[in-house]
Structure 1
Amino acid sequence: MTTEAVFGGATYQHIGRMTGLGTVISAGYLIFSKKRISKIFYGLLMTIMFWLALISGSRAPVVAIVIAISVPIYYGVNFGEESKVYIRPYAIIGVILSTLAVLVLPLLLFLGISPTTIERFMALTGSDPGRSASARVEWYIQSVQAWMEAPLFGHGTSGWASAIGMDDPGGYPHNILLELMVEVGTIGTAFLITCTLYMYNMMKKTGIGQLQIFSLMIICYALINALLSGDLTTNRLLFAALGLLLVPNKG
């Protein structure tokens, strides 16, 4: 049984990204909520949003969800003296949620349910991975070649398509890092990365609490999406989310 979502004129990528974001936000509230009734509510909301992401047909948001809800594990497990390990409760919930998200694939296949996104994942393991996956591999190779032609300053904004000889001027490599390297070169890309790391370092200095971890979940979700799909314009969520690095820890 195949299941697919269609909502008005929105593309499947838009649906996948928005429902994926809803999944991550719901997961954040589930992880950090204190009241049991709140955890139940956000758990149900997360399940609905995750299912909508699965039937959207967009693969990148599902991958981003699994990685984003694993962020609390990294910050919730600390190693002390004498090999002691301290695990915060929210890290345990993160382990449970990320494990369940990964186990959904074999479980649905066992039950004979094939949402569009899972079918597209399974296609990657076959002899014909599909036009989308094959084209992206080619674009990645062409992007590296185009970057080598102008490694310092790049080919200019919106110059990726012309740099690789593509007829469509709105084309992009579905990887924001490669697009930046081709269009603004090593210097522009390094500047953006340096600014991001500087803001993250400021967050670490003020202390990383639950609000900061919640923010990093959203940033991680947006970043993984940007590395797997879309261009600079469609990944504006990432640039908006990076502002969350400046959220202060007020204890």
Structure 2
Amino acid sequence: MDFSFRPKALKICLYLFSLLPLGYYLKLGQSNGIKDVTLFLYLIMFLVVGIKIVILKQSYYFVKVDVLFVLWVMIMLFSVLYTPHQMSGLYKTASFTTLGVSLIYISRALIKQRNDILVVFKFLLINSVLLELFIIIDFFIHGAPVGRYRFYDVHPVPLTMLGAITINIALLFFMHKQLSILKACLYILCGAITAIIGASKGPILALLITFVLLLPYLARRKEFVKLVLIIVFMSILISRIDFISGNIDYFLSRYESIDTAESSEIRVDVYENTWRYFAENPILGVGVNGLPGNYPHNVFLEVLAENGLLLFGLLMTFSLILIYIYYKKLIRKQGDTIDILMLSITLLSLTSLLFSWTYTQHKFLYFCIGLLICSYNIKEKQA
């Protein structure tokens, strides 16, 4: 007997799953809006997973790479014992486990066909664009202020990341004939404006690096010329929008003054201090959340300083796995539309962590890691 969810119920579950990476934006940042929307969405998904496994007796699976995530959490938990900030360290570990890593395991109970992954990305794109329209309207209502715009209490870094994710998905969807040119231009416009008013350098640099990495694949496709023309057309169009012209100038000025900007000088000081903490505790680090101030906006330095070479080894192992997938799917031409979508956002997310944000809060990363594992398992069963 088939105990799987009916198609409509499955689509609802996939839709709710696509909202999980957007929970931070939906609750309007750290302290405003629908305060428990993130927790509420996760509780629903945990309940769905429980029903599917316990009541509907749906099979569940684990893979070898799960060892990485289990060890990662165990090392973080162990470091809580010696970190100078135990309560905040415990909170960071719990947040990483329940709101980050859990995405990897929730996806396995929902994704049974590779087409489900495509449906999730379509939902994610639509939800992101609707959210960005709300952000742009709010920006306009507040007089289109020049600078790094804060949508309520949403930090500019994840705000810019949201725009970069939308641009990434919309361009690839258009290239793979999943979007008309009109919809693609509209979605790219919303993503670009959101990224510009967020004005964070890291996610945009990551987006550019990601598309450079995708060039071996993109250049082989006959739609590549159309893709380039859309990018040129949208760049000209956006530069002509009056109400964000000041923000465009500000946005570009942040790159032009990258060597002399105060934020860059502060970031270099943070890097140096973080490296010093690692040098003093190279094996175990200072403990989770043990750095003074905030995270160093670089995933490698954050991991080295907080949990030392012990956790850094796991990060490098994951990086090597990702490089192998990149080589197999792009260089050896074994990837299809879904593979490129998952891989591109994973690369975008991981690359952005070299410049900004912290790995424990980057839900887009774990969202796509989960989908990559689901896709691999489905292909293995079909082989």
Q: What is the TM-score of this pair, normalised by structure 2?
A: 0.51
Distance of 1:128 and 1:178 partners within structure 2: 20
Q: Pick from 147, 162, 171 the counterpart of residue 18 of structure 1.
A: 162
Distance of 1:119 and 1:151 partners within structure 2: 40
Residue equivalent to 2:45: none
Q: Pick from 210, 215, 221 the counterpart of residue 73 of structure 1.
A: 215
Q: Which amino acid aligns with 2:349?
A: A
Residue equivalent to 1:122: 253
The 5 A counterparts of 1:146-225 are 146-161=277-292, 168=293, 171-198=294-321, 201=324, 204=328, 207-225=334-352
Cα offset, 1:53, TM superposition: 1.0
Distance of 2:208 and 2:225 partners within structure 1: 15
Q: Which amino acid aligns with 1:189?
A: F
- The 8 Å contact of residues 160 and 194 in structure 2, kept in 1 or not, is answered as yes
Cα offset, 1:144, TM superposition: 2.1
Q: Which amino acid aligns with 1:183?
A: E
Q: Which amino acid aligns with 1:207?
A: Q
Residue equivalent to 1:58: 200
Distance 1:68 1:95, change over 3 A: farther
- The 8 Å contact of residues 73 and 94 in structure 1, kept in 2 or not, is answered as no
Distance 1:228 1:154, change over 3 A: same
Cα offset, 1:38, TM superposition: 1.7
Residue equivalent to 1:243: 370
- The 8 Å contact of residues 274 and 296 in structure 2, kept in 1 or not, is answered as yes
- The 8 Å contact of residues 258 and 264 in structure 2, kept in 1 or not, is answered as no
Distance of 1:2 and 1:128 partners within structure 2: 25
- The 8 Å contact of residues 286 and 305 in structure 2, kept in 1 or not, is answered as yes
Q: Are 1:33 and 2:164 matched, yes or no?
A: no
Distance of 2:304 and 2:258 partners within structure 1: 31
**What runs of 5+ residues in structure 1 fail to find an aligned partner?**
78-86, 162-167
Distance 1:124 1:196, change over 3 A: closer
**What runs of 5+ residues in structure 2 fail to find an aligned partner?**
1-143
Greater alpha carbon shift after TM alignment, 40-49 vs 201-210: 201-210
Distance of 1:120 and 1:242 partners within structure 2: 31
- What CA deviation, in whole Å up to 9, does each residue of 1:106-133 have, x standing for no partner? x949x99644365244245349833321
- The 8 Å contact of residues 239 and 248 in structure 2, kept in 1 or not, is answered as no
Q: Pick from 129, 136, 142 the counterpart of residue 267 of structure 2.
A: 136
Greater alpha carbon shift after TM alignment, 67-76 vs 228-237: 67-76
Residue equivalent to 2:222: 89
Residue equivalent to 1:81: none
Greater alpha carbon shift after TM alignment, 202-211 vs 231-240: 202-211
Distance 1:99 1:144, change over 3 A: farther
Q: Which amino acid aligns with 2:266?
A: A
Q: Are 1:49 and 2:191 matched, yes or no?
A: yes
Q: Which amino acid aligns with 2:201?
A: R
- What CA deviation, in whole Å up to 9, does each residue of 1:142-167 have, x standing for no partner? 22222222222222211222xxxxxx
- The 8 Å contact of residues 16 and 56 in structure 1, kept in 2 or not, is answered as yes
Distance 1:172 1:117, change over 3 A: farther
Cα offset, 1:54, TM superposition: 0.8
Residue equivalent to 1:164: none
Residue equivalent to 2:141: none
Q: Which has the higher helix share?
A: 2
Cα offset, 1:2, TM superposition: 6.9
- The 8 Å contact of residues 70 and 95 in structure 1, kept in 2 or not, is answered as no
Structure number with larger C-alpha Rg = 2
Q: Give the number of the structure with larger relative contact order, counting CA–CA contacts within 8 Å between residues 6 or more apart.
A: 2
